[in-house]
């Protein structure tokens, strides 16, 4: 740069008497106003817009902080800076100071998340690994403290330069809260708001030490590893299906119906393994037919009874055989019994024709053993 250009640049900067910063970005936290040798004319106008604060630094020391509005730069508005300069001519000559514009607006949609899964013990699934993701909003609550502890001499500071440290602090507090809460994994979704508010309150003091306030911290998602989610989906599917045997029978019946509509596809069913199910079903039917042919059918008019034993139906029994089961103690008054034509399983004492097989109820104080039951 030539001497003339240097002089021209100096004069043009010295006679500019408006100090302001119009932020056209969405991530600038701090901007240092550039002046030739940091010289500001006495009486210059300082324009601080809403969502900004202007901080004056003289010889490395924070002097004054001015809020929104239009300010005249003189000793009345800058008492600390005037004391530091100590000029006896009323600051009529240009004085040197650095002006930092600090954005005090709220920066939204800042991301946070766990880089590694968080280990925790779940009462239902045992040890599990969780990942968490969310957003938060931040703002500079104390421009002076923020300038001294975070900015230093950085001429331009963006949100990306501090969000990594904030994210680490949020994740650390989240992990601690998650471990202490002992909330089951399947119930965490109902506690997102409570946990987010609790985290923001717990970190308030730590962030205020840097002049920052974190607001509206949100937990968007807590997720299990993909393989665990797949196992959970299978478990959910089984619960939706209900009785797996009945579901298999239904699927087989549907396949038989479709094959009957299109006989040419029967070979394809066999090829994909469905023919094995059909063959097993046919084999079972043939075996059942052979067994049925070797056992005589029930005598017409004779009632057949079943009773529940170890969660499985036992029977059929005719009336004489059922009396023998009662006498042996295998069937009690509370045993669930079903007979042909009954709407549902019922305690033996509620079926009139079975209840009489027990005889009169036992006397108070006597044993409810087999002595009250009629002998076969």
Lowest mean pLDDT among 35-39, 111-115, 131-135: 35-39
Lowest mean pLDDT among 100-109, 276-285, 355-364, 367-376: 367-376
- Strand 126-140, strand 52-58: pairing: unpaired
- Can you state the angle between helices 192-208 and 160-181, rounded to 10 degrees? 130
Nearest residue to 354 via CA among 342, 364, 363, 365: 342
User: Residue 357 — very low, low, confident or very high, per pLDDT cuts 50/70/90?
Assistant: confident
**In the block, which residue shows the tokens 């599917």?**
237
Helix (H) or strand (E) holding 302: none
- 11-30 residue pLDDT tens: 444 444 788 999 888 899 99
Question: What are the two backbone dihedrals, phi and then psi, of residue 66, each rounded to the nearest 5 degrees?
Answer: -115, 140
Mean pLDDT, the chain, rounded, equals 76
- 127-165 residue pLDDT tens: 888 989 999 999 999 999 999 989 887 889 999 999 888
Lowest mean pLDDT among 94-103, 119-128, 159-168, 360-369: 360-369
Lowest mean pLDDT among 86-95, 173-182, 298-307, 309-318: 86-95
Domain 107-228, CATH class in plain words: alpha beta
Mean per-residue pLDDT, 256-262? 73
Question: What is the rounded distance in angstroms from the CA atom of residue 368 to the CA atom of residue 355?
Answer: 14
Say what the pLDDT of residue 11 is. 47
| 41-45, 256-260, 336-340 — most confident range | 336-340
Q: What is the dihedral of CA 67, 68, 69, 75, to 10 degrees?
A: 10
User: Residue 52 — very low, low, confident or very high, per pLDDT cuts 50/70/90?
Assistant: very high
* Burial track 274-302 (b if 16+ CB lie within 10 A, e otherwise): bbebbeeeeeeeeeeeeeeeeeeeeeeee
| 87-91, 97-101, 140-144, 147-151 — most confident range | 140-144
How many percent of the chain have pLDDT more than 70? 70
Mean per-residue pLDDT, 218-226? 87
User: Residue 271 — very low, low, confident or very high, per pLDDT cuts 50/70/90?
Assistant: very low
Mean per-residue pLDDT, 65-83? 72
Say what the pLDDT of residue 270 is. 46
User: Residue 80 — very low, low, confident or very high, per pLDDT cuts 50/70/90?
Assistant: low
> Which comes out higher in pLDDT, residue 288 or 320?
320
Question: What is the rounded distance in angstroms from the CA atom of residue 13 to the CA atom of residue 262?
Answer: 91
Predicted TM-score of the model (pTM): 0.55
Say what the pLDDT of residue 244 is. 65
Q: Is the pLDDT of residue 67 over 90?
A: yes
Question: What is the rounded distance in angstroms from the CA atom of residue 46 to the CA atom of residue 66?
Answer: 9
Residue count of the chain, please give it.
376
Distance of CA 77 to the CA centre of its chain: 51
């Amino acid at each position: 740069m030539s001497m003339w250009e240097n002089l021209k640049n100096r004069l043009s900067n010295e006679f500019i008497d408006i100090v302001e910063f119009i932020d056209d970005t969405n991530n600038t936290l701090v901007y240092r106003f550039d002046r030739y040798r940091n010289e500001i004319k006495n009486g210059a106008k300082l324009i601080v817009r809403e969502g900004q604060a202007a901080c004056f630094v003289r010889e490395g020391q924070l002097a004054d902080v001015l809020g929104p509005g239009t300010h005249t730069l003189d000793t009345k508005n800058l008492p600390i800076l005037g004391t530091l300069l100590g000029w006896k001519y009323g600051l009529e000559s240009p004085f040197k100071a650095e002006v930092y514009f600090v954005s005090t607006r709220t920066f939204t949609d800042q991301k946070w998340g766990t880089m590694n899964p968080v280990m925790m013990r779940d009462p239902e699934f045992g040890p599990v690994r969780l990942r968490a993701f969310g957003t938060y909003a931040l703002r500079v609550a104390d421009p002076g403290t923020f300038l001294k502890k975070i900015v230093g001499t950085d001429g331009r500071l963006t949100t990306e330069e501090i969000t990594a440290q904030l994210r680490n602090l949020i994740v650390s507090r989240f992990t601690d809260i998650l471990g202490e809460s002992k909330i089951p994994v399947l119930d965490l979704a109902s506690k997102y708001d409570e946990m987010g508010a609790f985290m923001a309150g717990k970190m308030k003091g730590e962030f205020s030490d840097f002049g920052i306030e974190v607001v509206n911290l949100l937990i968007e998602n807590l997720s299990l590893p993909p393989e665990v989610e797949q196992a959970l989906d299978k478990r959910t599917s089984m619960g939706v299906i209900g009785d797996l045997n009945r579901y298999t029978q239904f699927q087989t019946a549907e396949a038989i119906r479709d094959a009957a509509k299109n006989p040419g596809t029967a070979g394809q069913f066999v090829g994909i393994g469905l023919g094995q199910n059909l063959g097993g079903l046919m084999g079972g039917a043939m075996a059942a037919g052979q067994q049925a042919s070797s056992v005589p059918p029930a005598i017409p008019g004779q009632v057949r009874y079943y009773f529940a034993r170890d969660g499985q139906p036992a029977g059929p029994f005719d009336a004489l055989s059922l009396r023998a089961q009662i006498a042996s103690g295998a069937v009690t008054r509370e045993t669930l019994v079903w007979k042909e034509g009954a709407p549902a399983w019922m305690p033996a004492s509620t079926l009139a024709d079975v209840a009489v097989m027990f005889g009169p109820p036992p006397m108070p104080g006597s044993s409810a053993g087999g002595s009250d039951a009629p002998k076969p």
